[in-house]
Structure formats: structure tokens, C-alpha cells
Amino acid sequence: MALLEAHGLNKAFGGLTATDNVDLMVEPGTVHALIGPNGAGKSTLVNLLSGRIPPDAGRILLQGHDISHEPAHRRVQLGIAYTFQITSIFPNMTLEANGELAAMVRHNDPASTEHAVAKALDAVGLLDRRAQLAGDLAYGHQRLLEIALGIVQQPSLLILDEPTQGLGDAEVRWFIDLLGQLRGDTTLLLIEHNMDVVMAVADTITVLQFGRVIATGNPDAIQRNAAVQAAYLGG
């Protein structure tokens, strides 16, 4: 069974169709990349999946259960964690306190919270900075912290919207390693512009253009796909 299924998701903003009858199947334990030109509807799609915005039509299933009408906070409790394209950390709190806040959705006793926070900060290489204020971190480290805040929720599905945006080459390599470590434990749905990252980490790629899915497949198949090549060459 797919971990997450979307069927016929439609969303229009005014006259503009942002997602057009989108179907998506995310298999458990995989890294699933969502790619496509700017404005293709990638962020809208993950906003629909996480419940931040309601669809005009369509259904979303998590482990076979219809979550289409569950509010965003309930979907978090059900195991969908989502890091935003725009930074969502609290700059005046320490890394550890940010982690504790994020962990509250899943853990309620202090010992397991502390353990989960330490493990998540360690995974992104920020454990030794846990007492620093999040706002004092360099930009790239803030992006890694966001990922830690997703991991700390121990989600069954972690959605990352352009996690490598603004990262330097070394941080991007760190990120690729990190996804390698997370693979299997966590299913990842990743919006990513950097094709080197996509090709290095994705098991499955779904390509959106003008709100529609134009291709789904493994990296080899996607690279050879004529419609995908046309979409990228055409801008």
C-alpha cells in the first residue's frame, strides 16, 4: 500500500489553476522528488497534502485512510511533517527549545522529548550548538535546523520544500548524506530544484508543469522523458 495517495487534486486561485487533477503515490521508505518549472504548482500541491489549504476537489489518503478533511494540525499528529520554504524557526529561542516545541506534537514526557531532540539535532550536525539561539545560526545551518524540526516529530512522511535553496556546495553535500541516513526510516517528499540532489537521492520523481503531472518514474526514466526535456528546455 502507498503511504500517501492523492487522487484528482484540484486547486485554483481566482482564474489560475495551480494544481490540475493531480494524482500522486508516495511509496513507504522512499525519497520521492517533486520537480517542475517555477509556478508549476509544487508548493500548492504540498500545501494541499499538509492541509494548509483546502482543495477544490480530490482526495488524500494516508495509509489508506482518507485524511482529506483533517485539519493541518491533525495531519501532523497522524505523521505528516512539513518544513516550509520560508524559514519557520523561532530565532529568539535556542535550538534545543525550538526542538522541544516541534517535538510536542508527538512526545509528551520530558525524557523522550529530550532524547528525540538530541537525536534530530545530531542527525543534522547541530547537536553541539543546541544552547545557541536559532537566530544566531548562519543561513545554511538554519535550513538544516528546519529539517531537524521535521525529523524530531518522527513523521511517517517528511515533506521538504526546497531544502537546499540558498545552501552552499558543502552544505548541499551534507544534505545529500543526511537524506541517505534518513532513507528507510522516514519517507520523504522533496521539492527540489537542484538536479544533482534530485538525481542523487530520489527513488521516484514526479514532474509538474502548469499544475499537471507530466511524468512520474525513476531518475533514469525521467531524464529520458521527452515531455520532461521539453518542459525544461521550454522554461
Q: Phi/psi at 26 (nearest 5 deg)? A: -105, 115
Alpha-carbon distances of 105 from 132, 146, 212, rounded to whole Å? 23, 15, 33
Determine contact, residues 187/158, Cβ cutoff 8 Å: yes
Q: Smallest distance, Å, CB 19 to Mg ion?
A: 12
47 binds Mg ion (CB under 5 A): no
Q: Smallest distance, Å, CB 206 to ligand ADP?
A: 12
Determine contact, residues 188/158, Cβ cutoff 8 Å: yes
39 binds, among ligand ADP, Mg ion, none (CB under 5 to 8 A by kind): ligand ADP
User: What is the rounded distance in angstroms from the CA atom of residue 149 to the CA atom of residue 95?
Assistant: 9
Q: Smallest distance, Å, CB 184 to ligand ADP?
A: 27
39 binds ligand ADP (CB under 6 A): yes
Q: Smallest distance, Å, CB 38 to Mg ion?
A: 7
Nearest to 164, CA basis, from 88, 85, 219, 91: 85
Nearest to 95, CA basis, from 150, 136, 123, 151: 136
Determine contact, residues 126/154, Cβ cutoff 8 Å: no
75 binds ligand ADP (CB under 6 A): no
All 3 cell numbers of residue 155? 513523521
Among 39-47, 67-75, 129-137, 206-214, which window interacts with Mg ion (CB under 5 A)? Answer: 39-47
107 binds ligand ADP (CB under 6 A): no
Among 25-33, 36-44, 96-104, 120-128, which window interacts with ligand ADP (CB under 6 A)? Answer: 36-44
108 binds, among Mg ion, ligand ADP, none (CB under 5 to 8 A by kind): none
163 binds ligand ADP (CB under 6 A): no
Nearest to 120, CA basis, from 85, 155, 86, 93: 155
The single residue among 6, 44, 171, 222 that binds ligand ADP, judged by CB under 6 A, is 44
Helix (H, G, I), strand (E, B) or coil at 122: helix
50 binds Mg ion (CB under 5 A): no
107 binds, among ligand ADP, Mg ion, none (CB under 5 to 8 A by kind): none
DSSP structure class, residue 169: H
Binding site for Mg ion (CB under 5 A): 43
Binding site for ligand ADP (CB under 6 A): 13, 16, 18, 36, 38-44
